């Protein structure tokens, strides 16, 4: 808990002076005012995050948190749960979707076993920070204890802090785990105050009972565990996931260290909502990459209050969307630095 509190205490507001200077320069560039749209907005945000109107985001990493979910036992997914333990070692080998995209965007990928059910071999290259072998079944009781929820957040903080200390300038969050749309939908249902049936989708594959059964499981878990909608840690512990806590920790650490953090899709947005509830100022450091076709994704983005950069009909997870938009952030840095102003070009307007 000490690490979490210390991290929260370091999160400040965006730097308004540098944001104003960045906006002024952008308005003076040899182009029609605001003609680069959201690229200009991102450049201003990055100036506020980094306290530098010429920010650099060349050193990029996606942190992928891997964990399993006890609620899988309720038949909410058609995929075998051992997919998690089979696929997680593929990240260090560069053989997953986010790895393929990161190869193009020039980003590194780090995989963390924060709660995979079963033991990975010791030589996989996956960072082992396992808290437990998946969450408990939230349909029978809390997914984890409050202490375990805090620990999951602090694991994310520790991993992010290490990467930032090694020079990372831009972070993205992603996840791996069967059953995590169930936990994410439960989190969103609690925070938005909506019936799970309105926001429950297929996920990576729906179980035999269909969407109605999945929604009923989520609704039952919420009614059984009674998570406090004003307490992010309570929600995480009652109906969340270890990988969701880990991603929330990465987000909070990035905000505390003034590093831009790119949120992936639906599950990552659930983690961002938890982080924002724990410390609202952390939202200012977030950039959301894309909106998933999951029914709850649009609601999650609206609740977070940050408009995603893309709509690509992607639902892979893993941080794939974050890796895909990294070049957009680099472009935002480039325009403010490399486009001449009218004065620099010797033009009078």
For the segment 81-103, the average pLDDT, to the nearest whole number, is: 97
Q: What is the pLDDT of residues 241-253, one digit of tens each?
A: 999 999 999 999 9
The pLDDT assigned to 37 comes to: 98
Q: Does the structure show a pLDDT above 70 at 205?
A: yes
Average pLDDT, the chain: 96
> Furthest-apart CA pair in the chain: how many Å?
71
* Residue 318 is a catalytic residue: yes
pLDDT band at residue 349 using 50, 70 and 90 as cut-offs:
low
Distance separating alpha carbons of residues 324 and 347, to the nearest angstrom:
36
Quick one: pLDDT at residue 204?
82
HSE value, Cβ hemisphere, 13 Å, CA-based, for 282: 30
Whether residue 75 has pLDDT greater than 80:
yes
Predicted confidence (pLDDT) at residue 335 exceeds the cutoff of 90: yes
pLDDT at 210: 92
CA distance 244 to 193: 20
Report all structural domains of the chain as residue ranges with CATH numbers, in order of start.
Answer: 60-328 (3.40.50.10210)
The model's confidence at residue 276, banded by pLDDT at 50, 70 and 90, is very high
216 contacts: CB under 8 Å, gap ≥ 6: 196
CA angle 126, 244, 191 (to 5 degrees): 175
What are the tens digits of pLDDT across the range 134-152?
999 999 999 999 999 999 9
Residue 40 has pLDDT above 70, yes or no: yes
Lookup: tokens for 346: 């010797």
Q: Number of H helices and number of E strands within the chain?
A: 13, 6
Given 23, 318, 330, 344, which residue is catalytic?
318
CB distance 328 to 338 below 8 Å:
no
Q: What is the pTM of this model?
A: 0.97
pLDDT at 43 over 90: yes
Mean pLDDT across the stretch 66-87?
A: 96
Cα(129)–Cα(66) distance, rounded to whole angstroms? 10
């Amino acid at each position: 808990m000490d690490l979490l509190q210390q991290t929260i205490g370091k999160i400040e507001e965006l730097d308004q002076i540098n944001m104003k200077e960045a906006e002024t320069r952008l308005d003076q560039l040899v182009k029609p005012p605001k003609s680069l749209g959201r690229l200009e907005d991102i450049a201003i945000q990055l100036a506020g995050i980094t306290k530098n109107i010429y920010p650099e985001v060349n050193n990029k990493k996606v942190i992928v948190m891997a964990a399993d979910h006890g609620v899988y036992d309720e038949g909410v997914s058609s995929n075998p749960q051992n997919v998690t333990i089979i696929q997680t070692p593929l990240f260090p080998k560069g053989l997953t979707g986010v790895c393929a995209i990161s190869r193009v965007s020039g980003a590194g990928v780090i995989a963390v076993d924060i709660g995979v059910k079963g033991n990975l071999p010791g030589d996989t290259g996956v960072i082992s920070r396992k808290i437990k072998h998946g969450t408990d079944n939230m349909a029978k009781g809390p997914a984890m204890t409050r202490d375990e929820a805090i620990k999951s957040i602090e694991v994310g903080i520790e991993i992010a802090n290490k990467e930032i200390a090694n020079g990372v300038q831009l972070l993205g969050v992603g996840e791996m785990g069967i059953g995590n749309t169930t936990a994410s939908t439960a989190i969103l249902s609690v925070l938005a105050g909506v019936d799970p049936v309105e926001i429950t989708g297929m996920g990576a594959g729906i179980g035999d009972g269909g969407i109605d059964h999945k929604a009923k499981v989520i609704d039952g878990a919420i009614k059984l565990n009674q998570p406090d909608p004003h307490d992010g840690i309570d929600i995480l512990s009652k109906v969340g996931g270890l990988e969701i806590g880990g991603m929330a920790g990465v987000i909070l650490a990035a905000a505390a260290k003034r590093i831009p953090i790119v949120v992936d899709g639906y599950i990552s947005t659930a983690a961002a909502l938890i982080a924002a509830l724990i410390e609202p100022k952390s939202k200012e450091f977030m950039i959301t990459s894309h909106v998933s076709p999951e029914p709850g994704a649009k609601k999650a983005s609206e609740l977070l209050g940050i408009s995603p950069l893309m709509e690509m009909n992607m639902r892979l997870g893993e941080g794939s969307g974050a890796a895909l938009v990294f070049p957009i952030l680099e472009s935002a840095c480039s325009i403010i630095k490399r486009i001449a102003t009218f004065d620099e070009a010797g033009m009078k307007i």
